[in-house]
Amino acid sequence: MLTCKQVSKVLQNEDYENLSPLRRFLLMFHIKLCAVCGKFNRQVIDSQDMCCNFKRQEESLLEKEPPMDADRKDALKKLLSEQSGDSTLHRS
């Protein structure tokens, strides 16, 4: 059985999705049963999951749509920096 510390450490250092099936099972087992870290680590996994899904969705969107051309990107950057009053984008 894993300890709370081990579970948190693994989740901190690695993506839940990239773990081997056995480790994933052990982690989930602990999280389901543990009253101490279960709720917290469940949320960690959920948020990793959300990020993963978002990345995947973004990738599939990029495949369908061509990336924004450089001119439009620059115009957008300028607009954003003007609106936020932030000059970091001009400083390159």
Does 11 help bind Zn ion (rule: CB under 5 A)?
Answer: no
> Of residues 9, 29, 36, 51, which one binds Zn ion by CB under 5 A?
36
SS3 readout for the chain: CCCHHHHHHHHHHCCHHHCCHHHHHHHHHHHHHCCCCHHHHHHHHHHHHHHHHHHHHHHHHHHHCCCCCHHHHHHHHHHHHHHHCCCHHHCC
CB of 32 to Zn ion, least distance (A): 10
Does 45 help bind Zn ion (rule: CB under 5 A)?
Answer: no
> Of residues 10, 11, 27, 34, which one binds Zn ion by CB under 5 A?
34
Does 80 help bind Zn ion (rule: CB under 5 A)?
Answer: no
Interface positions with Zn ion (CB under 5 A): 4, 34, 36-37
